[in-house]
């Protein structure tokens, strides 16, 4: 005789409940450039996964339409490698996203993160509203009090976001031993 556990399928039920809860819940976008976008994506997904609807790595802040990874790597397009997240403000505060952004990369180096050098690796927050701009500037000042060197992070209005090629999406999830120079700094 077999007894069916009331817990069978519990994970699927939890997932369905989560989807139902999030259905119709308002979302906002946030866009951050913190060096190589592979590590940025990995760290944000790990830290905020329950508060994020989606993540995408791509390019923003330049002049060339529909740039490719090769284009951006030339340093001639003006784009930064970025992570764009769609998040639930009821679950995640934008200021917390900003605080984490400044913790997981070095915001004191111009156009450089670890071994990665070039304008595409600059530290930048692309804001999507005046409130995001205000919040990012406030958090930047708060973080500056905690570190000695001046923060060089740009805070700029969001432009067109170009999603990176498929092979760059979730890269470190598919290649766990892949290159990543990000770490929590404090």
73 is catalytic: no
CA angle 32, 101, 182 (to 5 degrees): 100
The closest alpha carbon to 84, from 118, 142, 18, 40, belongs to 40
Distance between CA atoms of residues 76 and 160, nearest Å: 17
Give the burial class of 53: count Cβ atoms within 10 A of its Cβ; 0-12 exposed, 13-18 middle, 19 or more buried.
middle
Which position among 36, 73, 98, 180 bears the catalytic label?
A: 36
Tokens 């409130």 correspond to 131
Do 71 and 64 touch, CB atoms closer than 8 A? yes
SS3 string of 121-178? HCEEEEECCHHHHHHHHHHHHHHHCCCCCCCCCEEEECCCCEECCHHHCCHHHHCCCC
Active-site residue numbers? Answer: 36
């Amino acid at each position: 005789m077999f007894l069916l556990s009331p817990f069978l399928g519990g994970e699927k039920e939890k997932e369905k409940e989560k989807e139902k809860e999030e259905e119709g819940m308002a979302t906002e976008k946030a866009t951050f450039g913190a060096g190589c976008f592979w590590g940025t994506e990995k760290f944000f997904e790990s830290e905020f996964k329950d508060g994020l609807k989606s993540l995408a790595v791509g390019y923003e802040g330049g002049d060339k339409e529909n740039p490719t990874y090769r284009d951006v790597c030339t340093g001639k397009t003006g784009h930064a490698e970025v992570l764009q997240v769609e998040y639930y403000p009821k679950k995640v505060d934008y200021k917390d996203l900003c605080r984490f952004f400044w913790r997981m990369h070095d915001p004191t180096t111009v156009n450089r993160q670890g071994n990665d050098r070039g304008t595409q690796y600059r530290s930048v927050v692309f804001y999507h509203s005046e409130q995001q701009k205000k919040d990012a500037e406030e958090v930047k000042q708060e973080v500056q009090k905690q570190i000695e060197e001046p923060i060089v992070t740009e805070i700029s209005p969001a432009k067109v976001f170009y999603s990176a090629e498929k092979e760059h999406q979730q890269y470190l999830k598919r290649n766990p031993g892949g290159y990543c120079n990000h770490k929590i700094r404090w």
